[in-house]
């Protein structure tokens, strides 16, 4: 008897299988992505209720889960096109729609139409950024060194940075209409950063291997960061946001240096003289 639900087929073109044949390891990354979506939706609820501290915590949790699901999928060897598409939808909700709605609830609603236009611009930029990222994944001719950089700011980083006014507000900064117009410009600029061609360092190669002598310091650093996030969350998020924006010019400079190095290596390779083939010796008839 057929079930009322279609079989789970993580990849297009895969032969239809029964639900009980799907290994659990293939479902775990998708469950993590769904939990991230739930966190993003819950953040919108908290923002509507005026609980901005809990809303920021929910968005931060969504960002952590977003960084975990892909690594878990690769570790379990359960990557799929289905999971990649769902991850993009989750990113648009969690890092495009949710931060913009929170900013509108907290600040931009005071300037009404202009504030809503800024929200729309940021959401559209986040959508375009994610679509461009998905297209660039299919580019097989991309040099290896470029894989360490994003084109424009990634959506999770953009979401954390764009909510900087909320962190400052939670520290007790008085609000004003003039300040809200400054926040409007800031939100639009961060949205444009998402779709810009500015290279930003991804840091993907930092987690590939860790030297043995750095394992203990890294664990201690993570404990310190976790403790600061619990004790001084807004100060830490403000520092991280400002630090990320300040680091962009340094990442651009590093990108340019690698680009020049790659161009020089190509020129040196092209200037090498082609090896001449040795002339074929004519066969001589043996003497009698």
Q: Could you report the per-residue pLDDT of 45-92, keeping only the tens digit for each?
A: 999 998 999 999 999 999 888 888 878 877 777 777 787 888 888 999
Mean pLDDT of the chain: 81
pLDDT of residue 202: 76
Please give the residue that has the higher pLDDT: either 24 or 97: 97
pLDDT of residue 101: 94
Distance (Å) of CA 44 to CA 57, 106, 117, 284? 11, 12, 19, 89
pLDDT of residue 18: 47
DSSP 163: T
**CATH superfamily assigned to domain 22-268:** CDP-alcohol phosphotransferase transmembrane (TM) domain (1.20.120.1760)
Name the phi and psi angles at 37, rounded to 5. Answer: -65, -45
Please give the residue that has the higher pLDDT: either 208 or 54: 54
pLDDT digits (tens, 9 = 90+) for 135-145: 776 666 667 76
pLDDT digits (tens, 9 = 90+) for 247-259: 898 888 888 888 8
The proportion of the chain whose per-residue pLDDT surpasses 90, expressed as a percent, equals 32
Residue with tokens 């139409």: 113
| pLDDT (mean) for 214-233 | 85
Task: Please choose, from the candidates 26, 28, 23, the residue with its C-alpha nearest in 3D space to the C-alpha of residue 10.
Answer: 26
List of residues 6+ apart from 188 with CB closer than 8 A = 118, 121, 122
Tokens standing for residue 80? 């799929």
pTM of the full structure: 0.79
pLDDT digits (tens, 9 = 90+) for 114-166: 999 999 999 999 999 988 887 776 666 667 767 778 888 888 899 999 999 99
CB-CB neighbours of 111 under 10 Å? 17
Asked whether residue 26 carries a pLDDT value surpassing 50, the answer given is: yes
List of residues 6+ apart from 149 with CB closer than 8 A = 199, 200, 201, 202, 251, 255
- Binned at pLDDT 50, 70 and 90, residue 17 comes out as very low
């Amino acid at each position: 008897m057929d079930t009322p639900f279609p079989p789970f087929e993580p990849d297009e073109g895969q032969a239809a299988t029964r639900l009980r044949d799907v290994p659990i390891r293939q479902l775990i990354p998708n469950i993590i992505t769904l939990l991230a979506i739930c966190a993003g939706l819950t953040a919108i609820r908290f923002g509507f209720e005026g609980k901005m501290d809990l809303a920021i915590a929910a968005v931060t949790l969504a960002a952590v889960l977003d960084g975990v699901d892909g690594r878990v999928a690769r570790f379990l060897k359960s990557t799929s096109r289905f999971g990649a598409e769902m991850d993009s939808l989750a990113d648009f909700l969690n890092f495009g729609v949710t931060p913009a709605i929170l900013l509108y609830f907290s600040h931009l609603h005071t300037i009404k139409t202009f504030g809503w236009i800024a929200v729309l611009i940021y959401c559209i930029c986040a959508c375009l950024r994610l679509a461009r990222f998905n297209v660039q994944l299919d580019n097989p001719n991309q040099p290896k060194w470029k894989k360490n950089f994003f084109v424009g700011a990634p959506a999770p980083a953009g979401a954390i940075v764009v909510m900087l006014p909320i962190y400052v507000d939670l520290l007790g900064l008085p609000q004003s209409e003039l300040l809200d117009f400054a926040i409007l410009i800031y939100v639009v600029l961060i949205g444009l950063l998402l779709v810009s061609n500015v290279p930003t360092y991804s840091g993907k190669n930092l987690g590939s291997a860790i030297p043995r002598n750095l394992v203990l310091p890294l664990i201690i650093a993570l404990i310190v960061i976790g403790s600061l996030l619990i004790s001084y969350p807004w100060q830490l998020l403000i520092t991280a946001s400002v630090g990320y924006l300040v680091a962009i010019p340094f990442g651009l400079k590093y990108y340019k240096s690698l680009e020049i190095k790659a161009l020089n290596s190509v020129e040196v390779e092209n200037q090498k003289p082609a090896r001449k083939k040795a002339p074929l010796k004519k066969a001589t008839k043996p003497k009698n």
